[in-house]
Amino acid sequence: MDDDVILFRNRSGLKAKPDPVSLANDAPYIDPETMHDAKTAAPGYDIYALYGEWVSWWHDMGKPELATGGAFIGFCKKRHERKPMR
């Protein structure tokens, strides 16, 4: 309720938040060497947070088949190019 206005939303129209546990169980595996390369590609970023964003994107896209390590490193590079931390 905001002032004298009430906003109603139909629950069936809201998008449900994905369960983080189910996302993690279904996430593509990234080996430690690739995680190290991702840190180099996106210096200053929390690589594990970027991995979580990347997995969410992957789920939203319908879990396309991809070269896991290269796709994640590309995601990190793009993030760093758009908004460098250092």
Q: Which of 15, 21, 30 is nearest to 60 (CA)?
A: 15
CA distance 42 to 78: 8
- Residue 2's φ and ψ, nearest 5 degrees, are -125, 115
Which pLDDT does position 7 carry in this prediction?
67
- Give per-10-residue mean pLDDT for the chain (86 aa): 65 60 69 92 92 89 82 92 83
